[in-house]
Amino acid sequence: MKLIESARFSHALSLPFNKVRAYAALMSLMLAACGTVPLEPPPEDPPIFQRIDARVGVVYAGAARTAILINPLVRVEVGKASVARFERVFASMFTQAVELPDWPPWREGTTGVDGVIVLEQTDAELVLGTDRNPDFVRIAYRVCLYTPDGIEIRCWTASAQQRHQPRLTECLDVRACIMPEIEITMREAIARFMVEAENDPALKAWSARIPLRHGSP
């Protein structure tokens, strides 16, 4: 399981401003004693991708599914939340999206699809702010499209980041600030992937060949 650790937390609590946040941290720890803090379910956003008429296999690699963001205040299963969002993304991109197992390797024999799209990597970073520095959240994804026999068509790396400077009395439950920041960053990174993919010449060339394959004997 991949663990993504926060940094500079001890420095953050060393400043006078953070006496308030230190108290908030203690309260958050007590409230979060039960474990992971869940993200909200993915929203029903309108599609921003012109759907391609294709049957595509979908794979969520372990490095994408199991990413966990951990610091002394929150434990967020970023990978699990990302998969839930990409399930909707891929369904909006292709007329048929069929999930394939991560194991055994799909390259060993995938038939009946026009391609395979893989969420290969989920990366996340969280640094809690101080009175001089804002909270910082960064989310990045790597998504690759392959032919059924495993030849790479294109890979995309999309990322987004958010900075938020908390006021003195803001976020007495620190999670009330951190969780929305993570949500916004995830959505922005995914939207950037979709815009980049839709305008990619390699994706357009691949999709243009699909009717020819469907029409062949």
152: exposed, middle or buried (C-beta count within 10 Å: 0-12, 13-18, 19+)?
A: exposed
What is this structure's pTM?
Answer: 0.75
Of the CA atoms within 13 Å of residue 145, those in its CB half-sphere come to 25
CATH of 3-40+53-215 given 3.30.70.2740, 2.60.40.60, 1.10.10.10, 3.30.160.150: 3.30.160.150
Mean pLDDT computed over every residue of the chain: 79
Q: What is the pLDDT of residues 164-180, one digit of tens each?
A: 776 666 666 767 778 88
| Helices and strands (H and E) in the chain: how many | 6, 8
Please give the pLDDT value at position 193. Answer: 96
Adjacent-strand bridge partners of 75: 70
Handedness of CA 15, 17, 20, 24 (dihedral sign): negative
Angle at 49 between CA 92 and CA 121, to 5 degrees: 70
* Cis check: omega of the bond before 104, within 30 degrees of 0: yes
Of the CA atoms within 13 Å of residue 199, those in its CB half-sphere come to 7
Q: What is the pLDDT of residues 10-23, one digit of tens each?
A: 333 333 444 434 44
